[in-house]
């Protein structure tokens, strides 16, 4: 009688997919943070009055926010298709810049949901930095075989 155990296969997930899905997760947190912000009493009136968190909503502001989100969105795809070295450095640089922007936006905030989401965003961005920094490498001699 055989007593073999079934072993669940643990397929390896490449660093590109890990980083790409981390960018997706960051964007979800950004979106939900903005959505939850509308539940704050008086926020909708503030926005319809042309301000958000004391900043005047202008074409320039909306363009800047759009570029900010578009870059993070593009990183989902670019992480998968850029040459490995370019992708690695783009992820390192952009994730660090996004960490700084998240930290700056959290200054002066006291809403627990906002602080939680900001901390979660920073943790995900730090994971991007870690995966990009430790991206597997090989020597040129190894690739020539």
This prediction's pTM: 0.87
pLDDT tens for the chain, residues 1 to 145: 667 788 888 888 999 999 999 999 999 999 999 999 999 999 999 999 999 888 899 999 999 999 999 999 999 999 999 999 999 999 999 999 999 999 999 998 999 999 999 999 999 999 999 999 999 987 777 655 4
The answer to whether 88 and 132 are in contact (CB under 8 A) is yes
Tokens at 127, concatenated = 């994971």
pLDDT confidence of residue 6: 83
Number of structural domains, the chain?
1
On whether residue 48 sits in a domain, the answer given is yes
On whether residue 10 sits in a domain, the answer given is no
pLDDT confidence of residue 145: 46
On whether residue 8 sits in a domain, the answer given is no
pLDDT confidence of residue 9: 82
On whether residue 29 sits in a domain, the answer given is yes
On whether residue 17 sits in a domain, the answer given is no
Strand duo 51-52 + 55-56: pairing: antiparallel
Separation of alpha carbons 66 and 14, rounded Å:
29
Give the domain range for residue 88.
22-135
On whether residue 144 sits in a domain, the answer given is no
Separation of alpha carbons 91 and 28, rounded Å:
18
On whether residue 91 sits in a domain, the answer given is yes
pLDDT confidence of residue 4: 78
3-state secondary structure the chain: CCCCCCCCCCCCCCHHHHHHHHHHHHHHHHHHHHHHHCCCCCHHHHHHCCEECCEECCHHHHHHHHHHHHHHHHHHHHHHHCCHHHHHHHHHHHHHHHHHHHHHHHCCCCCHHHHHHHHHHHHHHHHHHHHHHCCCCCCHHHHCC
| Residue position matching structure tokens 């430790």 | 134
The answer to whether 44 and 38 are in contact (CB under 8 A) is yes
On whether residue 4 sits in a domain, the answer given is no
Separation of alpha carbons 120 and 33, rounded Å:
11
């Amino acid at each position: 009688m055989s007593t073999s155990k079934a072993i669940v296969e643990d397929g390896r997930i490449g660093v590109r997919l890990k980083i790409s899905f981390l960018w997706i997760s960051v964007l979800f947190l950004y979106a939900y943070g903005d959505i939850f912000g509308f539940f704050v009493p008086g926020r909708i009136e503030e926005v319809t009055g042309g301000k958000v968190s004391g900043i005047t909503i202008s074409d320039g502001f909306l363009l800047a926010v759009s570029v900010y989100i578009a870059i993070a969105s593009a990183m989902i795809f670019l992480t998968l298709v850029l040459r490995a070295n370019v992708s690695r450095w783009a992820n390192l640089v952009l994730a660090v810049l996004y960490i700084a922007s998240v930290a700056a936006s959290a200054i002066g905030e006291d809403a627990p949901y906002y602080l939680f989401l900001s901390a979660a965003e920073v943790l995900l961005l730090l994971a991007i930095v870690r995966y990009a920094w430790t991206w597997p490498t090989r020597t040129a001699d190894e690739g020539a075989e």
